[in-house]
Amino acid sequence: MEQVNLSNNLIKHYADHLRLELSLSENSVEAYCHDIHLFLQYLESQHHSTLITDITQDTVENFFAYLYDLNIGATSQARILSGLKSFYRYLIQEDLAEKDPCALITSPTLGRHLPEVLSVEEIQKMIDSIDLSQPTGHRNKAMIEVMYGCGLRVSELIGLQISNIYRKDGFLRIIGKGSKERLVPIGDSSLKILYQYIEGARLQIKPQPKFTDTVFLNQRGTGLTRQTVFLLVKELAERNGIQKPISPHTFRHSFATHLLEGGANLLAVQQMLGHASVSTTEIYTHISDELLRETLVDFHPRLKKH
């Protein structure tokens, strides 16, 4: 089979197919092609091969984890998945691909759903399993500590600046969605681990000019990508036998859920998360309700599972 790259030219041929063979409206053609362009841009941003034969189910799953971390909703994700499947039907029909890497990927559940949450024990196992003898060990440990300890989005984590750490006061200045700023408290233990990295392993790296103030660096002295953090989380979960479908955002969900389970004020959690509306934060109270129901079923003598 001919080796073909996913390219703008290939997408153009696909658009012609949608117009001429399927008689789709111009709006529909543009929508389908927009989603394929989004996938191509993702591959290029991750320096992933654009050869059709090199795109696997894992590639597509990582793409959707990336969309999830960008807070792209389930409805949009379902539409994008439908577009990718349509595109692969075309590639197979044209003998440009042998199989569809999207075939076994199910559409995201539409409507409000409860996000996955890690237990405190699971998070501690992941942190404890990080190999601190490796060059990136202290960095990775600090990243997980700060993500969970402060409830940060992955974009906020990789964009954190040293100048925005108020060490004496125990706060981080976070630039969130829409460039909105907020102050987030950081606990003493998380702050200690963060500075063990900043004043230790990070000093061994020469930052590139644009990244002198960036906290988390790769070995080349540049900032990290969302994909790097996603792969770290996935690897730590697999290493510790955690079967839940988790991503960096799971630590943010866990942060909020554990605070509310401990009796934290809902408005305070909303402020720390940077949610514009308290209704967004309220989903975590539903998670707590579910856990209470599970506890009742598991431990009440008349309801206990057998």
| Residues labelled catalytic | 153, 177, 249, 252, 275, 284
Q: Do 68 and 249 touch, CB atoms closer than 8 A?
A: yes
Distances (CA, A) of 264 to 97, 191, 259, 272: 53, 21, 5, 11
By the 10 Å C-beta count (0-12 exposed, 13-18 middle, 19+ buried), 130 is classed as buried
Q: Please, which residues have CB within 8 angstroms of residue 91's CB and are 6 or more apart in sequence? A: 52, 97
For 206, the token pair is 């020469």
> What is the C-alpha separation between 110 and 80, in angstroms, rounded?
13
Give the DSSP H/E element, type plus range, for residue 243: none
Q: Do 126 and 232 touch, CB atoms closer than 8 A?
A: no
Give the DSSP H/E element, type plus range, for residue 184: strand 181-185
Q: Please, which residues have CB within 8 angstroms of residue 18's CB and are 6 or more apart in sequence? A: 24, 28, 29, 32, 33
For 231, the token pair is 């792969």
> What is the C-alpha separation between 300 and 216, in angstroms, rounded?
46
Report CA 56 to chain centroid distance, whole Å. 19
DSSP class of residue 116?
P
Q: Count of CB atoms within 10 A of residue 66's CB?
A: 20
Strands ordered across the beta sheet of 171-175: 165-166, 171-175, 181-185
